[in-house]
Amino acid sequence: MEYDKDLRSIQEARDLIKNAKIAQKQFASWSQADIDKLTKHICEACVRNAEPLAKMAQQETGFGKWEDKVLKNLLGSKMTYEAMANLKTVGIINENRAQRYFEVAVPVGVVVALIPSTNPTSTVMYKCLISLKAGNSIVISPHPGAQNCILETVKIIQQACKECGAPDNIVQVVKTPTIQATETLMKHKDTGLILATGGEAMVHAAYSSGNPALGVGPGNGPAFIEKSADIHEAVRRIVESKTFDNGTICASEQSVITQECIKREVMEEMKRQHCYFMTPEETDKVGRFIMRANNTMNPAIVGKTAKYIADMAGISIPSDTLILVAETSEVGKKNPYSREKLCPILAFFTVKNWEEACDKSIEILENEDAYYRFKAVCRQYLITEVDQDTTLESHLYHLTPDQPAAGVYTELGARVKLSVPVVKKGIFGREHKVYKEEIWKITELMELSVQKKQFRGIVLTELQIPKIRLREFAV
């Protein structure tokens, strides 16, 4: 009896999880030395094949530059291995005799890894190495648009595993990729962890699966060029980042924000470094190609050059153009330039001061639902003594209930640890200041900031969020 493709893929996914669970139990007996030997051997195999796999990925997907994908493959293999080479992941990994406790590393079991088409081979390398280093088995769910290069990468890793005597099925891949197969893998009761890299819908599905998940979805990172910046160097770094692999990395810049007082200098420097500022008419033409009718990114522009996109939109640009720039002021779902663009296109915003830049940055991040991918940004210039005219509110980026950031802290149940100055009298009646530690809910701070209360001399020593803790970052 011939089954439909979706039904065959579902059964395949179930079999892969079953086999992975068996393999992981066998793998659990491996020593730290054996695991380290295995990850080193896999790394060496990936490094040897970094270039052919990069070329294969570019040819299959049509995204980016193979030369840059070689560097991505080295990052996913050699640099990843070196970063964790001395990390202990088996047995007792830390012992604190003074406080009478020790920490034991325990594998999560079966890791399900979703692989995108933008960074296919390097993501397979990276996720396999970190999963095996931690004593887990892994099942790869490939993007159909990059299936062949993903399968080839898995084949190389499987061969390296075999040469080291690793259990059969310690690394597996879905050979009939469908949405149904991916959902089966994510929701399976024996899945220990999901590593989800992909579009917004896929990452949301991973977090909604009922199993633990770590997701990397759309990015929409703005770059703020402040008036004190080295403009040439700032622009150079933005251009290098945005043109790397033709912008396929979701962490690359999507917008440039600068201040009115240096706007002309920034624009002139960007032009010198081969950025083309489009006219309103050209901006409109290119904008029609950025998003599809369903308001998702058009894959036809992903990883393409500025010249390719310009030709597709029917506009004429200089032959040496590296990046297309659209000057805009609005942020929203209907403005494609304020969205994630995995290609060499940048939005250009102008603000009066750094406070407006922070507000604009938050607005841009939230426009791609970064609200659910919380980031706490610590700025060096905030680590100072609080003067009498400074409110704690200003240091928390105007943290009031009507500000976007406030909802993030509130939803995550954030609290702050404060060192509050208290005046006490000594035995001779002389007054002196001491600091008393207090823990406040973030909502209490917001209520007081609405009332325009000042927090003179208070030091914010810790921001506490479930499973996230940032110490001594603002005062």
Q: What burial class does residue 422 get, using C-beta atoms within 10 Å of its C-beta: 0-12 exposed, 13-18 middle, 19+ buried?
A: exposed
Burial 269-288 (b: 16+ CB within 10 A, else e): bbeebebbbbeeebbebbbe
pLDDT for the residue numbered 379: 29
Residue 367 has pLDDT above 90, yes or no: no
406 neighbors 399 (Cβ within 8 angstroms): yes
List the structure tokens of 269.
């420097």
Average pLDDT of the residues in 64-82: 95
What tens digit of pLDDT does each residue of 14-59 get?
A: 999 999 999 999 999 999 999 999 999 999 999 999 999 999 999 9
Task: Please tell me the number of Cα atoms within 13 Å of 274 on its side-chain side.
Answer: 15
**Rounded mean pLDDT of 91-107?**
89
Query: For the whole model, what pTM was predicted?
Result: 0.76
Task: Please give the helix or strand (H or E) that residue 423 lies within, else none.
Answer: strand 415-425
Binned at pLDDT 50, 70 and 90, residue 469 comes out as: very low
Token readout for 41 is: 């051997």
pLDDT of residue 421: 72
What is the CATH T-level fold of the domain 5-93+103-216, as seen in this structure? Aldehyde Dehydrogenase; Chain A, domain 1 (3.40.605)
* 167 vs 100: CA distance, rounded Å: 36
Q: What does DSSP say about strands 137-141 and 110-114: parallel, antiparallel, or unpaired?
A: parallel
Q: What is the CATH number of domain 222-371?
A: 3.40.309.10
Q: Tell me if 211 sits within 8 A of 194, measured CB to CB.
A: yes
Written as six digits, the tokens of 215 are: 């997701």
Q: H or E stretch including 257?
A: strand 255-259
Is 250 an annotated catalytic residue?
A: yes
Q: pLDDT at position 422, please? A: 74
**In this predicted structure, what is the pLDDT of residue 451?**
53
Cβ of 90: how many Cβ atoms within 10 Å?
20
* CA-closest candidate to residue 45, choices 74, 82, 10, 68: 74
Name the active-site residue from 250, 275, 343, 358: 250
pLDDT of residue 436: 74
> With 70 as the cut, is the pLDDT of residue 382 above it?
no
Residue 171 has pLDDT above 50, yes or no: yes
Neighbouring-strand partners of residue 468: 465
Q: Where is average pLDDT lowest: 99-113, 357-371, 442-456?
A: 442-456
Give me the residue spans of the domains in the chain.
Answer: 5-93+103-216, 222-371, 380-471
d(CA 66, CA 49): 13
414 vs 51: CA distance, rounded Å: 46
Distance, CA of 51 to CA of 347 (rounded, Å): 33
Which of the two residues, 253 and 198, has the higher pLDDT score?
A: 253
| Exposure b/e, 375-388, CB count within 10 A at least 16 = b | eeeeeeeeeeebee
Average per-residue pLDDT in the chain?
84
Q: Which amino acid is at 104?
A: V
Are residues 242 and 323 in contact, defined by beta-carbon separation less than 8 angstroms?
A: yes
Highest mean pLDDT among 163-167, 224-228, 417-421, 456-460: 163-167
Inter-residue contact 137 to 23 (CB < 8 Å): yes
pLDDT of residue 1: 55
DSSP assignment letter at 191: E
